[in-house]
Chains A and B, each alone.
Chain A
């Protein structure tokens, strides 16, 4: 009898726990929204998002430079990361021996575990001087090295593990029969990969890329150490920029000495949350769709 009571009780207790945990996300959005209200009342949403004028002490809060800065840095990171990651994961799944995969997988995990400050240090020590001394003069411009490109390179490396891991999982789910059929028709391995495997894996690959993108979009520490923190729309990849997460991390200290600044920064955090949420939801839906569809084919 006691066991049954304990069982009944624990079920209710755990149920509450689960509901609470699910609500955390809603709580976060709600709290951020509540604290952003003052600035939303001050200026219309379109001004906040599309204006370039960022002068908090004069009450002007235009986030455009930061949004564009974030977009530039993330785009550069994706341009670098996606080809490298796709090629690597295809190689590891389709071409390489099992032993090689066993050796390289831990390396990718370690890459995933390196803290973002360490990436930032590496960026300042190696990437920034590299851009300043070699790359920029090579391309005909001059740069202090603290630039969109530096941020992009560091971010790209940070998202390697995410994209590779998920891409590998997706490639593994492509049924062998499809590949065998293609090879039987006389295609080479690469042709099979290019036309059959990629097409089949495309939704999953997109999901992997979107997850990588959202990770890159939200990274703050590593990026703020190398990107230059200048609140202007960048003119080229060699110019400095100021992504949203860096804005929040750098300026939270002055939150209360300028009116509405705390609300502006929390609004930036809300924006970040919504964008990342959007990307995450889409890619998760794609990925869970894949899991289900394999029940039918496999």
Chain B
């Protein structure tokens, strides 16, 4: 009996310290609350910056951000695990049908990366890589050596890296090459930083990253050890979205979104992203 009482006591102490306190909100200045955001790595640096700035103005709003890929963002939003999802690819019809509500918040691009000590790096930097060759590397597997890429005799093997988690970068890359993420053939690594690190470690690697993970966010130069490659035709910049399950109802979330689409946009260029067009912003503000 004693042990039961002890266990019950311990458990109740733990629970009582963790039960969320109730919130009361009068006006905007007293904005309190908790926002959970999850999803694509592509938007992660931007949303971090936004939440830092937003919390300077409204210190009582707590924002939790985790990255797990665009697919996870959608899943979490639909299952109620997150208030907002970060998505770096187009929303498809089924998702809209399930109730996904979208605003565009920034733009970025996906870049191709190789190891800085790649044997044919000089040729690659001089000529770039064409979409045709990339298709043969990532999709069909016809091109297997670095020599074939630049037209030399080099017989070093190409180690292809792609994403193992469901993410926007892979979807965007796949779309550029005319297929989907599933058709990309390569070693699947988890997460955008994962691919960057894998390319950094493997001399013969080729991969792709969201631009903000190929370049270090803080130091503004490319991550040491990897080299971004020019590809032609160039990958057009893509829109990045914040999604929610239906129109957001909570006051904090609406305030945050409104702030992002207005004052928040000033932080966009410094963080390595591009602004969404003014018209699109106006449209989305009206949605709110």
A146 with B74, Cβ < 8 A, contacts A250-B165, A259-B94 known: no
Contact B159 A144 (CB under 8 A): yes
Contact A254 B188 (CB under 8 A): no
Is B95 an interface residue when CB atoms closer than 8 A count as contact? yes
Question: How far in angstroms is the closest Cβ of chain A from B217?
Answer: 23
Contact with A along B57-88 (1 / 0, CB 8 A): 00000000000110110110011000000000
Number of chain B residues whose Cβ lies closer than 8 Å to a Cβ of chain A: 31
Q: Is the interface of B mostly helix, strand, loop or mixed?
A: mixed
CB distance from A225 to the nearest CB of B (A): 8
For A142, the chain B residues whose CB sits under 8 A away are 157
A246 contacts across to B, CB distance below 8 A: 164
Q: Is B130 an interface residue (CB 8 A)?
A: no
Q: A254–B69 contact, CB under 8 A? A: yes
Interface residues of A toward B: which range? Answer: 20 to 34
Q: How many angstroms between the C-alpha atoms of A56 and B180 in the bound complex?
A: 10
**Does residue A229 face the partner (Cβ distance < 8 Å to B)?**
yes
B255 interface residue, CB < 8 Å from A?
no
Determine whether B42 belongs to the interface, using a CB cutoff of 8 Å to chain A.
no
User: Which residues of the partner chain B approach A243 to less than 8 Å between Cβ atoms?
Assistant: none
Q: Which residue of A lies closest to B156 (CB)?
A: A142
B185 proximal to A (CB < 8 A): yes
Q: Write out, one digit per residue, whether chain A residues 209-243 have a CB within 8 A of any chain B CB (1) or not (0).
A: 00000000000000011001111100000001010
Check: B182 CB closer than 8 A to any chain A CB.
yes
Q: Judging by beta carbons under 8 Å apart, are A254 and B190 in contact? A: no
A contact residues around B204 at 8 Å (CB) = 144
Please measure, in the bound complex, the distance between the C-alpha atom of A230 and the C-alpha atom of B186, giving whole angstroms. 6
Q: When A54-B182, A254-B71, A256-B79 are in contact, do A144 and B166 touch as well, CB less than 8 Å?
A: no
Closest residue of chain B to A259 (Cβ to Cβ) is B94
CA distance A252 to B72 in the complex (A): 8
New A-B pairs, 19, CB < 8 Å, besides A55-B183, A144-B205, A257-B75: A54-B182, A55-B182, A144-B204, A225-B190, A228-B187, A229-B188, A230-B187, A231-B182, A242-B188, A246-B164, A250-B164, A250-B165, A253-B68, A253-B69, A253-B72, A256-B98, A257-B71, A257-B78, A257-B94
